Structure 1
Amino acid sequence: MGKVNRLKLAVLLSGSGSNLQAIIDACTAADYPAEIVLVFSNQPDAKGLDRARAAGIEAKSLGHKGYPGGREAYDHAVSELIAQSGADLVVLAGYLRLVSESFAKRWEGRLINIHPSLLPSFKGLHAHEQTIAAGVKYSGCSVHFVVPEMDAGPIIAQAVVPVLADDDAASLGQRILRQEHRIYPQVIRAIAEDRVVVGDDGRVTVHDSHSPDFAHINPVLARG
């Protein structure tokens, strides 16, 4: 049996890297069709970098504060690091920076993000606080393609959790994070297997999934 070609991932993060860990764990399976070739952080002391190094993955950082030339120049430098890694897909996993329009356009269709709300509701920072303040009864997380407009790209998959009467941002956030860890590796698998299609209307279809519960997080399925 020949070697399976795996989708090469560059994972960008700013913090502890719990979603990174979920992806690392998924990549250890023999049949998982992706591998991480680079972990990058804008925070040199991000613990996610330690997770990457412990797993034998190349980890790089570049501080953004005071970077010469501003955001465009910084994003160009990051983009070049990604290109040099040979990555096919850029995965934002708690990367707490808005990417520039040029960055989003360079990686268009190859750049995904996970956001802790049911988009298009509660975009941007402090999504959990926004959710609780609005009094909604359900929240969750969304995996979407990244476009220049913040949190506005085509939605690939979502997972739903209840908002409980005694929730605060921390308790709701933990409940949502468990779902993030579940669906992000599933979405990456679907992309690697060429089962994710964006229609002319901007809606995403995910074709037959190996995961029996994928229909519950994206009911727009096309059967083979």
Structure 2
Amino acid sequence: MRLGFLASHGGSAARFLTAACREGRLDAVPVALASNNSGSPALAWAREAGLASAHLSAARFPDPDELDRAILAFLRGAGVDTLVLSGYMKALGPGVLGAYAGRVLNIHPSLLPRHGGRGMYGDRVHAAVLASGDAESGATVHLVTAGIDEGPVLARARVPVRPGDTLESLKARVQAVEGELLLSALRGLGSRALA
């Protein structure tokens, strides 16, 4: 697999998976990262890590169709065959979704379909889990489709919600399982592609 990443901020999944590839834990090559945020730490990291990198945003491409085409051209130009959203806070356009159908992964910090959908990301998700009184939470890796957090689930990891949990303690427990879960889902996707 030739991995591409889209990130808006820190890009922790991109960093984790790139390290896993370079350590031989994932049979893949990280090749590119684009961000909608010119000042994102993920973009600076990608440059230092030797990945093709680009700032592609509505500020540069106000027409959504033009932005979709620019992202697709960047990914294709880098030879990306599998795309991972690493905290990417924008919806993908139809060009990217069509070209990479079944090959775009996202990780969500809850057990989808609970606490997913538009506006549900980051700390908002953990706050919603706590407010709902759920006994467990976790992380879900899913394929990305046009509907927000609606794509087929590839893998889940469950973590308990403990009495006295705060947003920070629950978040830390969920984040602790995310990297390996994403790694496992990518291995499964890669083996299915070879079958």
For 2:170, the aligned partner's letter is L
> In the alignment, what sits opposite 1:9?
3
Give the number of the structure with larger relative contact order, counting CA–CA contacts within 8 Å between residues 6 or more apart. 2
Cα deviations by residue, 1:38-60 (Å, 9 ceiling, x for unpaired): 01111111111222223222222
> In the alignment, what sits opposite 1:185?
183
Tell whether the 8 Å contact from 2:142 to 2:152 is kept in structure 1 after alignment.
Answer: yes
Which SS does the other structure have where 1:144 is aligned? strand
State the TM-score, normalized to the length of structure 1.
0.78
Q: Per-residue deviation at 1:134?
A: 0.8
- Say if 2:53 is the partner of 1:59: yes
- Say if 2:20 is the partner of 1:22: no
- Say if 2:127 is the partner of 1:104: no
Tell whether the 8 Å contact from 1:113 to 1:145 is kept in structure 2 after alignment.
Answer: yes
State the structure with more CA Rg. 1
Distance in 1 separating the partners of 2:125 and 2:95: 26
Q: Per-residue deviation at 1:190?
A: 2.1
> In the alignment, what sits opposite 2:66?
73
Coordinate RMSD, CA, aligned: 1.9
Q: Per-residue deviation at 1:171?
A: 2.3
Distance 1:64 1:169, change over 3 A: farther
Q: Per-residue deviation at 1:173?
A: 1.5
Distance 1:72 1:132, change over 3 A: farther
Structure 1: 4+ residue segments shifted above 3 A: none
Distance in 2 separating the partners of 1:42 and 1:28: 26
State the TM-score, normalized to the length of structure 2.
0.89
Distance 1:56 1:109, change over 3 A: same
Q: Per-residue deviation at 1:177?
A: 1.1
> In the alignment, what sits opposite 1:165?
163
> In the alignment, what sits opposite 1:136?
134
Distance in 2 separating the partners of 1:144 and 1:136: 21
Residue segments in structure 2 that go unaligned for 5+ positions in a row: none
Q: Per-residue deviation at 1:72?
A: 2.8
